[in-house]
Amino acid sequence: MTRQRMWRAMLVFALAVFALSGCSGHPSMDALQPKGTAGEIQLDLIKWSFIMMLGVFTVVITIFVYVLIRFRKRKGKDIMPEQVHGNNWLELAWTVIPIILLAILAVPTVKYTFQLSDTKPGPDTLEVKVTGHQYWWEFEYPELGIKTAQELYIPVNTKVHLEIEGRDVLHSFWVPALGGKTDVIPGRTNTMWLDAKKPGPYQGKCAELCGAGHALMDFKVVAQTEDDFDKWVAQMKNPPQPITTSAQKEGEEIFRQNCIGCHAGANAKILGPDLSKFGTRDTIAGILPHNKESLKQWLKNPEAVKPGAKMPKIDYLEDKELDALMDYLMSRK
Ligand code: CUA
């Protein structure tokens, strides 16, 4: 290898490392390193089909390379393979072998299909209703009387049943490290279950092209220890914290005049997320860090943050009013 070529190769390698390292640092979203039972089952199926595929690939490629070398054109002496047509044994072999392979693959597939579709409610399961909206996720815990958005809190080592429905167009609910995907369809309820064996945030994604904001329709599954989850439930069920400052009071009034039509909370038909516990969230709009700077960015121009979002621009408030509104929202815990 010449020196120039070597440098070029090293540059490509360095660029690849740089580009691919962008994939880490996020909460886990690796389907090949599952952190829950459903994910493990699905990885097992991937392994089964991959190993069989590898076997078929190896045999086919070996024969292919052998024929390529054995019967290649050579000066003077061409070897013509014997020309056959309708060899019964060969025909039988390549009909029967795939049938056997599929039959073998059917065993784990059928077993796991029944296991994964078992979403009968039980005393130890947690029920959650998931609704996909353009471009955010609503999570409702009917047994607990909690409604939230963008972050699905679950206790570890608990089977969580999800009833998944769409409000507008097709979406797809996908948490790679815990299992999925499940289609989100308006007017139809699909079910799935998942669990997490370790606490942690797990990144979720919408996996069905649903419009301009599709790639930004993120959410998180936050798995917590039993104790932490109970604390979270208690906090969500507590009445909202009282208004303490005059800015929050002003903000509440601005919220009432400008926002409540869509963010009306648990009782109305929801157009936007319930914000009654907004101060406890992890993200703004599911993608920005949860601070006032991001909130301002989102309020002033939602379209720039998440194209196609139905949230209107709140760019007509004076700075002082906007600050008051943000004070109020951040105090909702
Ligand atoms: Cu929702 Cu893509």
pLDDT tens across 194-214, in order?
A: 999 999 999 999 999 999 999
**How many angstroms separate the CA atoms of 187 and 138, rounded?**
16
Question: Mean pLDDT across the chain, nearest whole number?
Answer: 89
What is the whole-number distance in angstroms between the Cα of residue 210 and the centre of ligand 1? 4
Q: Which residues of the chain are modeled with pLDDT < 70?
A: 1-2, 17-26, 265-270
Q: What is the Å distance from ligand 1's center to 203 Cα?
A: 14
C-alpha of 308 from chain center: 20
Q: Is 217 in the pocket of ligand 1 (CB under 6 A)?
A: yes
184 lines ligand 1 (CB under 6 A): no
For residue 98, give both structure tokens: 């795939």
Alpha helices, DSSP H only, in the chain? 3-20, 37-70, 88-116, 226-237, 246-258, 292-300, 302-305, 319-330
Is there a contact between 70 and 79 (Cβ–Cβ < 8 Å)? yes
Over the stretch 288-312, which tens digit does the pLDDT of each residue have? 999 999 999 999 999 999 999 989 9
- The encoded tokens of residue 164 equal 């998944």
Here the tokens at position 10 are 């090293």
Binding site membership of 214 for ligand 1 (Cβ less than 6 Å):
yes
Cα separation, 150 vs 205, in Å, equals 11
Q: Which atom in ligand 1 lies closest to the alpha carbon of residue 169?
A: 1
Q: Is 206 in the pocket of ligand 1 (CB under 6 A)?
A: yes
* Alpha-carbon torsion, ordered 260, 261, 262, 268, to 10 deg: 90
Q: Give the distance (Å) from ligand 1 centre to CA of residue 265.
A: 23
Give the CA distances from residue 199 to residues 31, 135, 154, 209, in Å, rounded to whole numbers and listed in that order: 17, 26, 9, 30
Is there a contact between 179 and 34 (Cβ–Cβ < 8 Å)? yes
Give residues with Cβ within 8 angstroms of 104, minimum separation 6. 52
Ligand 1 centre distance from Cα of residue 167 (Å): 12
Residue 19 pLDDT = 62
Q: Which two tokens stand for residue 26?
A: 């996020």
DSSP class per residue in 233-249: HHHHHSPPPPP-SHHHH
Closest atom of ligand 1 to 170 CA is 1
Kindly give the distance from the C-alpha atom of residue 105 to the centroid of ligand 1, in angstroms, as a whole number. Answer: 32
User: Cα–Cα distance between 2 and 12 in angstroms, integer?
Assistant: 16
Q: Is the CB of 252 under 6 A from ligand 1?
A: no
**How many angstroms separate the Cα of 292 from the Cα of each of 74, 227, 240, 272, 299?**
75, 30, 20, 19, 10
Write the residue with the smallest CA distance to atom 1 of ligand 1.
171
User: At 267, is the secondary structure helix, strand, or coil?
Assistant: coil
Q: Return the ligand 1 atom nearest residue 215 CA.
A: 2
> How much is the pLDDT for 110?
96
Question: 172 C-alpha to center of ligand 1: Å?
Answer: 6
Q: Distance (Å, rounded) from C-alpha 14 to C-alpha 261?
A: 52
